Amino acid sequence: MFDKVLIANRGEIALRVLRACRELGVRTVVAHSSADADSLPVRLADEAVRIGPAASRRSYLNAAAIVEAARQTGAQAVHPGYGFLSEDADFAEICAENGLVFVGPPPQVMAALADKSTARALMSRAGLPLPPGSVRTLPTVAEAQAVAAEVGYPVIVKAAAGGGGRGMTVVRSAAELPRAYARTRAAAQVAFGDDRVYVERYLADARHVEVQVLCDNHGNGVHLGTRDCSVQRRHQKLIEEAPAPALRPATLDTLAEVALRGALSVGFTGVGTVEFLVDDAERAHFLEINCRIQVEHPVTEMVTGVDLVQEQLHVAVGTPLRLRQSDVRLHGVAIECRVNVEDPDRDFAPAPGRLERFRPPGGPFTRVDTHGYAGYLVGPHYDSLLAKVAVWAPDRAAALDRLDRALAEFDVAGPGVRTTIPFARRVLRDPAFRAARHTTALVERLLAPGDAGTDVDHAARAAVPDPRAGTDPTGRTPVPAVPATGPTTWRNP
């Protein structure tokens, strides 16, 4: 195992990686911006290195500063967490050139999978089902129009370099396509430096189901079941659960098998997530492979008993996989809610500020991953995720009740601070969601003007028993920027 790992991230995931390292006897270095100098990961790390000011591009996206921090502290590996540089093939290559192990897949695998058009072609060759659409990118609007006419509207125009819910435009008619095509290409060029796009049939009322995979450097791999991430707003997930509910066991088994086959076919290593859309006939359509630990990984850990971050580290150091597929057993149901510092009553606008009160929930089978504490300043610079509340129970109904109880206990308050807890509890009470009959359209429906929480169609559907469901498993306080003067290091005793 490594002696020392540098954590190139912040917030709850930095703390999660730090704790996994500590349990393995690995010393930790937390690379942080000036805005995070008083954060919990920095306080708990063996060493901390300031790599730049608050702006992400000069700190958490500053590859040179991160590599220099690792060099100064003698770290052998860099764990990128999620977001920032976690799926940046160039950064992984830079780490390798400087004698550092990047905790993730090889750079060439990341580069291939980051290009969504290339990933579609690779997964198609591996036998994964794709949504109807173009396999290659479409350099002209005429080609996009031809594909859209063939597959039928609505369609979605996607950036080849996009991901994480960015770089996508839904098009509902032929008249909308030219403008949407041009707008998506322009936005992709600005966001990703790559204006290539492709077109797929848009599945408006589907489930978002993903498979967790774990592969080593010796050609071995296992899957660790499924997750449902259908509760999302603007392609950003809000509530996740494992295993995916209300799908036939045969469907879940097939998804897991093809996901692992797809990952192994491209030489994937580490932990990854293969994402699908599943329609009402339980036909699956490949979306993408994520090359990092996912925000929602705790629910998989809770139903399998596998520490995914520790397994990441074992794979990165070169250890053969410590699990066989027969070792993976799913027990019960786990559900996670993301607690974001946003105001649902103002279109989920950021609502940061200083936390005067911060009391996370407790109780049996309740896990809270958070970097928050009373007195912590939630600034405006980064992602709004403050905490993840995850619960386990023997069945889904009990898990939903436990999560609602936990969220009711969560006390967060401060000037200008608002959270998504009230909206999450509204989702938990929705009849369609409780009956596991929800799709990716759920949040949009709940936010529709005049919606009282459920509409006639969904309420009627939810009232029909389903043997597959049930118990199956802005007052902003700016942080002044500090000029970058190179990494500054201190050590905890």
The two tokens of residue 68 are 């220099």
**In the predicted structure, residue 165 carries a pLDDT above the cut 80:** no
Catalytic residues: 292
157, 171 Cβ separation under 8 angstroms:
yes
Other Cβ atoms within 10 Å of 73 Cβ, number: 20
**Per-residue pLDDT at 456:** 30
Average pLDDT over residues 439-453: 83
pLDDT value for 204: 81
**Mean pLDDT of the chain, nearest integer:** 91
CATH code of domain 132-201: 3.30.1490.20
Q: Could you give the residue ranges of the DSSP H alpha helices within 266-332?
A: 297-304, 308-316
Domain range list for the chain: 4-103, 132-201, 207-463
- What does the pLDDT read at residue 466? 38
Do domains 4-103 and 132-201 share one topology? The answer is no
pLDDT band at 340 (very low <50, low <70, confident <90, very high): very high
The pLDDT value given to residue 491: 36
Residue 450, pLDDT > 80, answer no
Q: What pLDDT sits at residue 205?
A: 86
Nearest to residue 304, comparing CAs of 219, 221, 212?
Answer: 212
Which CATH entry fits the domain spanning 207-463: 3.30.470.20, 3.10.129.10, 3.40.50.300, 3.40.640.10?
A: 3.30.470.20
Per-residue confidence (pLDDT) for residue 490, from 0 to 100: 40
CATH topology assigned to domain 4-103? Rossmann fold (3.40.50)
